[in-house]
Amino acid sequence: MPCLGVAFIAVVVGATAAVLKAWNSAGIKLGETTYFRVVCTAAVVELPWYRSFADLVEPRIRAYLGRYLGDLKKFERLNLEWKRVCFAAPEVELLKRKLLFSKLPVTLAEDLECLIWSWSREYQRRYNWSFRVAAGRICRAVSLLSKRYSVLVKLENLRGIKRKNVPHLRRWSWIRLVKLVLGCTSKKVGVALVDPSYTSSKCPVCRGWLRRRTYRMLICANCERKWHRDVAAAVNIALAEPRRMLRTPRSP
């Protein structure tokens, strides 16, 4: 399930209790606390609504094919032009094997391609909504903290970076995330950009290389500590030096 990694660093010792309270009020379940140079609490916030695109479209494609299945038998006897249906999304291509079809008469294939395209728009809208809800919960925790402490939010500077590993349909525009954080947090909250290099590949504690165990689980080659991929990235971002200040933090 896609999620957002978030890490809070309490620079002032007394702020740790306030951080835990803010997590609670925003409904974020504390994942792990790390003690190294600073007290760092990290968590993953799951997207509240999530179904993969394949799960969303499979029953719809089944219903569509079911409607024409009888006719398909007749079509086979006719001399029609057949076309391989293009799903555009690699995560749905596998469905063809499951549903045991790849070619349809041209008009049906084009009709189905059109439908899948409009379903992908619908899916993207749902995914964006879900992402906004999850990010909104983090912004709420940040705003709560800013009532008592000076807060600086750090984000990766992903301007111009293409995220090849993220499926097309789940790609959230980075600039929208920056705007969301700037718009949904109090004006007193500072927002800074950090260098994104090695945030997901180095251990936040010992700086050793992280090796992949599963898609989401990483292990440090040096200290053998296990990390959730998004938590490791969040802690590294929280520890990184701000490179560009988008909004200066103000004391409450």
Q: Give the three-state DSSP class for 20.
A: helix
Q: Would you say 48 and 127 are in contact if contact means Cβ atoms under 8 Å apart?
A: no
- Nearest to residue 246, comparing CAs of 152, 122, 176? 152
Q: Is 186 exposed, middle or buried (0-12, 13-18, 19+ CB in 10 A)?
A: middle
CB of 128 to Zn ion, least distance (A): 35
Q: According to CB under 5 A, which one of 206, 211, 213, 217 is a site residue for Zn ion?
A: 206
Cβ proximity to Zn ion: between 30 and 223 the closer is 223
CB of 8 to Zn ion, least distance (A): 20
Cβ proximity to Zn ion: between 208 and 242 the closer is 208
114 binds Zn ion (CB under 5 A): no
CB of 28 to Zn ion, least distance (A): 25
- Nearest to residue 4, comparing CAs of 90, 124, 106, 133? 133
Instruction: Name the one range near Zn ion by CB under 5 A: 75-83, 108-116, 148-156, 213-221.
Output: 213-221
223 binds Zn ion (CB under 5 A): yes
Strands 82-84, 103-105: parallel, antiparallel or unpaired by DSSP?
A: antiparallel
Cβ proximity to Zn ion: between 193 and 203 the closer is 203
Beta strands in the chain (DSSP E): 3-10, 32-35, 39-46, 82-84, 103-105, 152-156, 190-194, 210-212, 217-220, 226-228, 244-247
Angstrom distance (rounded) from CA 147 to CA 142:
9
Dihedral sign from CA coordinates of 67, 73, 74, 79: positive
CB of 203 to Zn ion, least distance (A): 3
94 binds Zn ion (CB under 5 A): no
CB of 208 to Zn ion, least distance (A): 4
Instruction: Name the one range near Zn ion by CB under 5 A: 38-46, 61-69, 160-168, 214-222.
Output: 214-222
Cβ proximity to Zn ion: between 175 and 223 the closer is 223
Q: Applying CB under 5 A, what is the total number of residues that bind Zn ion?
A: 8
Residues engaged in binding Zn ion (CB under 5 A): 203, 205-206, 208, 220, 222-223, 225
